[in-house]
Amino acid sequence: MLIVLLGPPGAGKGTQAERLVKEFQLAYIATGDILRSAVKSGSPLGQQAKGYMEQGQLVPDEIVVGIVQERLAHPDCAGGAILDGFPRTVVQAHVLDNVLGESGKGVNRVIHIDVDEEELVARLTGRRVCRECAATYHIKNNPPRVRNVCDRCGGELYQREDDSISTVQERLEVYKKQTAPLIDYYSSKGLVTVINGNQEIEKIFSDIKAALEKDRA
């Protein structure tokens, strides 16, 4: 089962992915997380990606596609995977289709998490992320048990550099121009399920779960 989580910044892709990988025992591929750890380590990939990410722009397709291709070849992806934040352009979607097609596979379901724009800004500016395991919290909506400490691993929580109000606005524009066209791309293949993302985290999770269980049946 190969599932794509599609939605604007702050829609809750990471929040839902965390729950879905456990429920469905899938590998988890989040290009944003992979790129952020490359930036943190100062690797050549990180050096290339840093500037784009800080400005809220997409990292060039060639770079991101290479990362995902390599990751999909890992044995842990054999049983399926959740893609969070990839593909993000029509070019990336084409490459993904070609790569999967070579082994007779394809994207099985695209979950489009739809959320109102003012809510997205509030979610992003209040988000906190674990430095160690990348678990995601929100100061109001989903606070950790102890302030600034990760429930899962005890790591320190921080605010992502691209969660400042001006960069958030840029990311939302980039989403509309470059990523939203994927909704039509996958709709024409009959793969999209729209989920109302303006609900509580657990309700969204059960809606997504119901959609995926229908596919599995």
Give the nearer residue to Zn ion in terms of CB position, either 157 or 195: 157
Size of the site for Zn ion (CB under 5 A): 8
Determine, following the binding rule CB under 6 A, whether residue 58 of this chain makes contact with ligand AP5. Answer: yes
Size of the site for Mg ion (CB under 5 A): 1
Determine, following the binding rule CB under 6 A, whether residue 86 of this chain makes contact with ligand AP5. Answer: yes
Q: Under a CB-based contact definition with an 8 Å cutoff, are residues 81 and 3 in contact? A: yes
| Cross-strand pairs, 196 | 114
CA distance 61 to 41: 21
H/E element, 120: helix 117-125
138 binds, among ligand AP5, Zn ion, Mg ion, none (CB under 5 to 8 A by kind): ligand AP5
What is the amino acid identity at position 32? Answer: G
H/E element, 215: helix 201-216
Does the annotation count 131 as an active-site position?
A: no
144 binds, among ligand AP5, Mg ion, Zn ion, none (CB under 5 to 8 A by kind): none
Does the annotation count 152 as an active-site position?
A: no
CA distance 186 to 22: 25
Give the x/- contact pattern for Zn ion in 145-164, rule: CB under 5 A: -----x-xx-x---------
Q: Give the nearest distance from C-beta 133 to Zn ion in angstroms.
A: 3
Determine, following the binding rule CB under 5 A, whether residue 56 of this chain makes contact with Mg ion. Answer: no
Q: Which of residues 116-175 bind ligand AP5 (CB under 6 A)?
A: 123-124, 126-127, 136-138, 141-142, 162, 171
Contacts of 131 (CB under 8 A, 6+ apart): 155, 156, 157, 158
Q: Which of residues 95-154 bind Zn ion (CB under 5 A)?
A: 130, 132-133, 135, 150, 152-153
Contacts of 38 (CB under 8 A, 6+ apart): 45, 46, 49
Q: Which two tokens stand for residue 100?
A: 């999967």
Annotated active-site residue in 36, 50, 71, 127:
127
Q: Under a CB-based contact definition with an 8 Å cutoff, are residues 81 and 69 in contact? A: no
Instruction: Note the residues at the interface with Mg ion (CB under 5 A).
Output: 14
Q: Annotated active-site positions, please?
A: 13, 88, 127, 160, 171
